[in-house]
Amino acid sequence: MAMMRLRREDPRVVGTFRLHRRLGAGGMGVVYLGSDKRGQRVALKVIRPDLAEDQEFRSRFAREVSAARRIRGGCTARLVAADLDADRPWFATQYVPGPSLHDKVNEAGPLSPAQVASIGAALSEGLLAVHDAGVVHRDLKPSNILLSPKGPRIIDFGIAWATGASTLTHVGTAVGSPGFLAPEQVRGAAVTPATDIFALGATLAYTCTADSPFGQGSSEVMLYRVVHEEAQLAGVPDALAPLLASCLAKDPADRPSTLSLSLRLKEIAAREAHGPSGGPLENGSGAGAGWERGERRPSDRPTGQRAEEYARQRTERRTAGTSSPRPHPSRPPAPRDSVSRPAGPASTAGKNPRKTGGRTGRRAPAARPTGRNGSRTPVRTTSGGRRPGPDRRLLRQRVIVFVVVTLLVALGIAAAQGCQGPARGLGVERPAPVAPSSGGVDGPYGVGEQNP
């Protein structure tokens, strides 16, 4: 909800509430954001001076406030305080954070059928509490519905006769919101709970299409359409169109009751939230990220014929690509051949497929016994032979390394022997050493050199 700064003419304190911002202005007066000494925030409406001088208005205002005090319900803005004897009467209701339904649709566009049905079911419960208290809202419209984090809330209930008149004014024109007023309000007839049902139907149609079911135009044109023409529901989803058409019936007796409307909207919301085929929507409005991704709730498991079909499909997917089911990890696999195997981990150890007794069996891997140094010991077969365990790859690597190192050492030794072998092997005699002359005569290898 948009907030504006206080103007110079606005009061700063009303009753025990300190005012902080302007929330808006309407036909009855100005609405402020205020708070009490404990910090509780309220929406405080101060009545216009001209209405405050009207004694008939004061009397009716007092009756409406008295009835509003009796309303108990989570879908309404609770009345906190009121002063009917002040120079300018005022009342304070619980402050509801969040945008109005009108602003939500205006910014984000029409809502999905599941969202519309869910909001409509919550609003129907709120109207049921209002009607049980003997109050008729008389001005239910998208701008009087706030979308709080805890769900939709109805505001301006029971005291909206000056902004959503249930009768004609003394000049012969209806005051309110054309397109959301019921025909009996335009005619000046008595209002009943069915009046709010008509307004709720028009509000939900607006939520589906972002437009009034009676189009646009001047107040006179809109009021004429409300009384004489049928509502246009071309853009309303098929799941909601029949129910909203019954809400917008011209005769109040043809409209559903508040309780019936609430139950039917809950059914539609539950059905639309899981999609036409019974599965959850991928982008639905469920209360959790898992359901938005299309996961199935534990309580939404199929039953009856659908359960049998679901089980058969799971069995086909599980057995696809293999001729035998995989053994359960918590119990040993059953023997596949006729040879009896001794009990113990060695007899149930996992092996590669090996023909035994004329059949090929597949074994699940099991733990191998280990030696002192942690190496695995070979496993004894039923025929008495020995075969390596599952670490044959490591054994092969060690053998290869040993062979390579042995060959390299052998080649090194052979190369060293080859360097000395030609002189002895070919019979070539080395020249005898010559003693150097004492006179410094050049030897065969130069001056002063000795025979090596």
CA distance 301 to 322: 28
What's residue 284's pLDDT? 36
Q: What is the pTM for the complete model shown? A: 0.58
Is 156 in contact with 139 (CB distance < 8 Å)? Answer: yes
Residues annotated catalytic, as ranges: 139
Q: Give domain limits for the chain.
A: 1-95, 97-281
CA distance 362 to 411: 46
Mean pLDDT, the chain cut into blocks of 10 residues (452 residues total)? 84 94 84 93 91 87 80 81 91 90 94 95 91 86 92 74 38 61 92 94 96 91 94 94 96 95 95 62 36 36 51 60 46 46 44 45 49 49 49 85 91 80 47 46 43 42
CA distance 104 to 435: 118
What's residue 290's pLDDT? 33
What's residue 309's pLDDT? 62
Best CA proximity match to 142, nearest among 121, 160, 119: 119
What's residue 3's pLDDT? 81
Helix (H, G, I), strand (E, B) or coil at 407: helix
Q: Which amino acid is at 39?
A: G
Give CATH superfamily name and number for 1-95.
Phosphorylase Kinase; domain 1 (3.30.200.20)
Longest CA–CA span in the chain (Å) reads 156
In words, the CATH class of domain 97-281 is mainly alpha
What's residue 227's pLDDT? 94
What's residue 14's pLDDT? 94
Cβ count near 359 (within 10 Å): 11
Is 270 in contact with 292 (CB distance < 8 Å)? Answer: no
